[in-house]
Amino acid sequence: MDELDREILDVLRRDARIPYTEIADSVGTSEGTVRNRVDRMLETGVIERFTVATRTGNIKAMIELGVDVAVDTTGVARRLAEWDPVDFVWQVSGEADVVLIVDAADTTGVNDLITRARDMDEIVSTTTRLILDEQR
Amino acid sequence: MDELDREILDVLRRDARIPYTEIADSVGTSEGTVRNRVDRMLETGVIERFTVATRTGNIKAMIELGVDVAVDTTGVARRLAEWDPVDFVWQVSGEADVVLIVDAADTTGVNDLITRARDMDEIVSTTTRLILDEQR
DNA sequence: AGCGAAGTTACGAATTTCGTAACGATAAAG
DNA sequence: CTTTATCGTTACGAAATTCGTAACTTCGCT
């Protein structure tokens, strides 16, 4: 994690689909070096994943889930991450145990998710907040 | 924005650097169609940007902020988005008004952020949760 | 049926990615 | 001071992907 890594990340944050060759030009190194470093950052977990920020124009929400004390929270979280409209799944400290960020086609989509979550017997509580606006 | 668009987005959410050819295979169409549709979604703003989820520091946290009723929440959110370790800024419904997702170097970094938030007089309350783990 | 618009497929050329080998710098060991 | 090992960078050809464009379908409308 040095200055060059940070510069590469800065470029990728702006546009994660930009080719290595262009990143190399803009940070002043070769394609191979950019590739090596991105690979390394992926392996070490500095880069968690490449993703896409969407605004389907419809609905985004944050769903907080309480998980039964007797249950493997990581397993639940992993299963939730499989669901398609889910952007992020975080295990958190505090009141709730798991937080989902979802971007669904419509309210029905969000409702489906909540219903499916409630149907898992490991899940003991849900709270939903709509994401009204996103800055950045 | 039809079902095919949504399927393409679902693939991109998991890995935004996957080639169009592979997306095409996995959703059952041609490379050209995927390309056309991604271009269109970029133009219409459905896709805001391709980005990278990072964990450059050791601490990630979700900070919930209450904003004074008399205050322009969007303005506050916009100012918060300028801060360096902040990944996302959302205005949400429910208890809190604004939620920040931060990726800081250490606990001090997170604490700084909370302190600075508390110092803004528009901010009337803060709750912090550590993000213990993230699923992809 | 005929027409136009929108979307999809086809395909060759340009570009990028990928695997691998050579090269260079740095640091520890002899 | 030279040697050796390690790590990162560069080089380069082959494979894969992207890109521009043209032909082809599909669908709705008159």
Residue A58's pLDDT is: 75
Structure tokens at A18: 């930009």
Distance in angstroms: CA B3, C1' D30: 30
Looking at the domain assignment, is residue A72 inside a domain?
yes
Does residue A65 sit in the same domain as residue A126? yes
Same domain, A72 and A123: yes
A107 domain residue, yes or no:
yes
Q: Which residues sit close to strand C, CB under 7 Å?
A: A 19-22, 31-32, 35; B 4, 29-33, 36-37
B89: which chain A residues are within 8 Å (Cβ-Cβ)? Answer: 134-136
Sign of CA dihedral A18, B9, A54, A3: negative
pLDDT, one tens digit per residue, over A49-106 is: 999 988 886 789 999 999 999 899 999 999 998 887 888 999 999 989 999 999 887 8
Q: Rounded mean pLDDT of chain A? A: 91
Question: The domain spanning residue A13 has which CATH number?
Answer: 1.10.10.10
List the A37 CA – D3 C1' distance (angstroms): 30
* Closest-CA distance of chain A to residue B11, Å: 9
pLDDT of amino acid A136? 67
Q: B34 and B70, same structural domain?
A: no
Residue B136 inside a domain? The answer is no
Nearest CA-CA distance, residue B22 and chain A, Å: 15
User: Which residues of chain B, if any, have pLDDT below 70?
Assistant: 136
Count of the separate structural domains present in chain B: 2
Closest nucleotide to A20: CA versus each C1': C16
- Residue A113 belongs to some domain of the structure: yes
Q: Residues B123, B63: one domain? A: yes
Check which CATH number belongs to the domain holding B104 and give it: 3.30.70.920
Answer yes or no: do A40 and A66 share one domain: no
Q: Which domain holds residue A36?
A: 3-44
**pLDDT number for residue A57:** 67
**CB–CB of B13 and A54 under 8 A?**
yes
Q: Quick one: B65 and B126 in the same domain?
A: yes
Question: How buried is B2 (Cβ within 10 angstroms: 0-12 exposed, 13-18 middle, 19+ buried)?
Answer: exposed
Of B46, B99, B135, the CB nearest to A57: B46
Q: Does residue B95 form part of some domain?
A: yes
Give the separation between CA A126 and CA B58, rounded to whole angstroms: 28
pLDDT band at A14 (very low <50, low <70, confident <90, very high): confident
Domain-embedded: residue B82: yes
Contacts of A109 in chain B (CB under 8 A): none
Smallest Cβ distance to B53: which of A15, A49, A95? A49
Q: Computed from CA positions of residues A90, A91, A93, A99, in that sequence, does the dihedral angle turn out positive or negative?
A: positive
Strand D at less than 7 A from CB of A38: no
CB count, 10 Å around CB of A9?
19
Model pTM greater than 0.75? Answer: yes
Tell me whether residues B54 and A81 touch, CB distance under 8 A.
no
**Residues of chain B with C-beta less than 8 angstroms from the C-beta of A85:** 10
Positions of strand C less than 7 angstroms from a protein CB: 7-11, 15-21
CA distances from B15 to A9, A121, A133, B29, B122 (A): 16, 30, 24, 18, 38
* Contacts made by residues B4-11, CB under 8 angstroms, sequence distance 24+: B4/B29, B4/B33, B4/B37, B5/B37, B5/B41, B5/B46, B6/A56, B6/A105, B8/B34, B8/B37, B8/B38, B8/B41, B9/A52, B9/A54, B9/A56, B9/B41, B9/B46, B9/B47, B10/A84, B10/A85
